[in-house]
Structure 1
Amino acid sequence: MLHIGGVELRMAMVGLFWIAEGDVYVGAKPSGLAAGVRLTQEGVVALGDKQAALWPWEDVRALTAEDVPLRSLKRHAGVLVDAVLALGLGGGDEAPTMTLRVTDAAGGETDLTVYTAAASGYSETERDLSLTLLSRLTEGAGTLWTTLAAMAEWGRAHEGGSPGAAKREELLRHWTETADA
């Protein structure tokens, strides 16, 4: 759990996803007018000042993430600074971003900005599993609803903040398998 301004926030980062009390985001959950993307049963919801939009799932053909920052020794050295910036508590620089590309039924592509949830970057395994999961969400309604429901349910039940790397990978594998069912 995270406490900000006396408010308790139940959330967890699992791969490229931020899960907060049953809501599933790609990247960090945005606040205010910050850019972000929420995945709902209805569709892909772009949030923020310059990218507010909704793509119903029946119109989404592909979801891909670009510019995903990978963990490195240099990034580990700046974890605390990055975390402070990601929470909006620092000055000048913004938290790192990545791009979520939505390909629609007409073949059009829209690039959406999302802030990363991992202050020191993501492991290659978490990135790869997350990209597979994003791809599976576009394979049909049954896959989509089952997978999002499993992710949301885990988020509502989980109270301990972000799990360790092995547990995050296990969850991503499970949700990918759920998508296969």
Structure 2
Amino acid sequence: MVGLFWIAEGDVYVGAKPVGLAPGVRLTPEGILALGDRQTGMWPWEDVHALAIDDVPVRSLKRNVGVAVDLVLTVGLGGGDEAPTMTVRLTDAEGAETELTAYTAAAIGYSQKEYDLSRELLSRLTEGAGSLLTTLTAMSDWGRRHEGGSPRAGEREALLREWAAGAG
């Protein structure tokens, strides 16, 4: 996991990699792929004018206390174990918006810095084919080299900055 992205076997997802029929969003060189039993579709990059993300849990002291209380109540009362979701919003050239759902990958939320850098990176992906292919290739290559783990915060932030700048 790097920022809001889950990179596995060279595949890049916004949020957690979906399992089974769970909702998810995969970024491919061809376009954005909606996954899950309640959302399907493929949006070619040339049709995507803007890409944003909402409802992202960002860490704060207040949020950490709230998550801890929710965890105690959920586990203690035998509640559900479903992760929080976020909304990926695509806007086409005509201004029409499509909202997709993805599970978050960070149990207690993302740092503000990783959230901001991830948003910058998502924006970069809509700048054109050169930026898109360079960025997704760098992310995929990193994922293939670093299977099975998430780097520390400083390295994650450095990777996000590098990818957003277009360096590979």
TM-score (norm 2): 0.89
Following superposition of structure 1 onto structure 2, how do residues 18-167 of structure 1 map, counting pairs within 5 Å?
18-73=6-61, 74-75=63-64, 78=68, 92-159=80-147, 161-167=149-155
How many residues are aligned here?
161
Which stretches of structure 1, 4 residues or longer, exceed 4 Å deviation after superposition?
A: none
Q: CA deviation at 1:105?
A: 2.0
Q: How far apart are the structure 2 equivalents of 1:159 and 1:55?
A: 27
Measure the CA separation in 1 of the matches of 2:31 and 2:7.
16
| Aligned equivalents of 2:28, 2:108: Cα separation in 1 | 27
In 1, Cα distance between equivalents of 2:148 and 2:51? 29
Deviation at residue 178 of structure 1 after TM alignment:
1.0
Deviation at 1:94, TM superposition (A): 1.3
Partner SS, residue 133 of structure 2: helix
Distance in 2 of aligned mates of 1:126 and 1:56: 26
CA distance in structure 2 between the aligned counterparts of 1:159 and 1:148, rounded to whole angstroms: 16
When the two structures are superposed, what TM-score results if normalisation uses the length of structure 1? 0.83
Give unpaired runs (5+ residues) of structure 1: 1-12
Paired amino acid for 1:56: P
Where does the alignment leave 5 or more consecutive residues of structure 2 unmatched?
none
CA separation in 2, counterparts of 1:156 and 1:113?
A: 25
CA distance in 2 between partners of 1:160 and 1:22 (Å): 12
CA contact (8 A) 1:72 1:120 kept: no
Q: Is the 8 A contact 2:12 2:140 kept in 1?
A: yes
Which residue in 2 is equivalent to 1:4?
Answer: none
Letter in 1 for 2:145: A
What is the identity, as a one-letter code, of the residue corresponding to 1:43? Answer: G
Q: Aligned with 1:102: secondary structure?
A: strand
In the TM superposition, what whole-angstrom CA distance separates every residue of 1:28-85 from its partner, at most 9, and x where no partner exists? 000111000000011000101111110000100010000110113343764xx59xx9
Q: Secondary structure at the match of 1:38?
A: strand
- Report the CA distance between 1:160 and its aligned residue: 5.1
Q: State the distance in 1 between where 2:136 and 2:50 align.
A: 16
Shift of 1:154: 0.2
Q: What is the DSSP-based 3-state SS (H/G/I as helix, E as strand, rest coil) of the residue aligned with 1:127? A: helix
Secondary structure of the corresponding residue to residue 173 of structure 1: helix
